Amino acid sequence: MTPYITILLLSFLLVALDAVQLNRKEKLYFFVPFVALLIVFAGSRPPGIDRDYQWYNTAYGYMKYLGWSHLLQAYALYQFEIGYVFLTKLFYSLGLPFAGFLFLYEAAMGVVLGRLIYRYSPYPFTSLCMYVCLFYFLRDFTQIRFAFSAVLLVNGLLKFAEDKRRAGWACLIVAGLLHNSAWIGLFIPLFYTVFYNRWIYLLFPPLGYLISLFHPIQIILSLVGLPQQITRYLTEHVTIGASIMSYVFCYVLMILSVFHYEKLKALYGRKFEYLYISFALSTFIGLMFVEFPIMQRISGALFTTSILFVPYIIKTFTEKKWYGYREIFAFGIVLVYFYYGIKLILVGHLLKPFF
């Protein structure tokens, strides 16, 4: 497990660069190589170290027998969304082996992620560390469709916040075509347009927990049922999910952001408001389906916004009276995520030794 721990530790140590007096260009000299390392490490992994590699490899080989007019058959057989099926068919037709396709896929995702963080985060290394600790070893290794779709979802929401609607729609639609959970992103611009009240959204997480007490999945199953893919996961007892305490932690961050609301809005405008709605809805859905981790994919897609939402909060502690406290607060949050990353690697049983 040494390579995984090394990457996790390196991401943690690089956070210190957010606290030193370096301009954005100087930070880029450290930022780009580390993103490249993440791409190469995930994109060139050998078969068998993660639980889904063989599944994706088999589906890729199936493209040999699948005509362009029958792409939906791959969805019926492997439960892969049409966007991902199209990509695999395209690269297979170009003669690329699965290892080559996987590397290019990880490279494209890494570039989009790196550009997202570097452009929008006030503390890019903090955001990158959060991504590595929370998502990298889970998504980039075992949930590659979900990983890329979640990053595109965040991009799409920020494009909407910047009033670049065509780019926003494009990102959200492509995200949904890669993984169904990303369609939840379409509701965020709607929620923002119909009503925006920070106090109402602050009530969403407690409401989600109250609804969970009535076992909503059982009600949905009895009334309308669930898609085949989700039903399969439920019957296989997929149990990787977040705990109640993790959502309590998220709710504390939401409360903190409300107390710094005016400054956050002044600094980031609609970008913060879109992230705030996403964070609230993510926590609401996660708590509502806390007993059924597979349903938390929807929550997890929106929770990707945390890699920007949390640094935005840290940035508000700018007055001299907060000096020292800001660093302690930021270090404490990063330490929590670092602990989660270590636990995910050592206890989660997601990955086998790299060598």
Quick: pLDDT tens for 138-183.
Answer: 888 888 999 999 999 999 999 999 999 999 999 999 999 999 889 9
pLDDT at 2 over 90: no
pLDDT tens string 87-118: 988 999 898 999 999 999 999 999 999 999 99
Tokens of 146: 């979900």
- pLDDT, averaged across the chain: 84
pLDDT at 61 over 80: yes
Question: What whole-number distance in Å separates Cα of residue 77 and Cα of residue 115?
Answer: 35
Name the residue among 104, 121, 133, 108 with its Cα closest to residue 10.
133
Tokens of 55: 């599944």
pLDDT at 281 over 80: yes
Question: What whole-number distance in Å separates Cα of residue 220 and Cα of residue 234?
Answer: 13
Tokens 């929590």 locate to 336
Question: What whole-number distance in Å separates Cα of residue 182 and Cα of residue 341?
Answer: 23
For residues 157 and 188, the answer to whether their CB atoms sit within 8 Å is yes
pLDDT tens string 236-279: 444 444 567 778 888 888 898 888 888 888 889 899 999 999 99
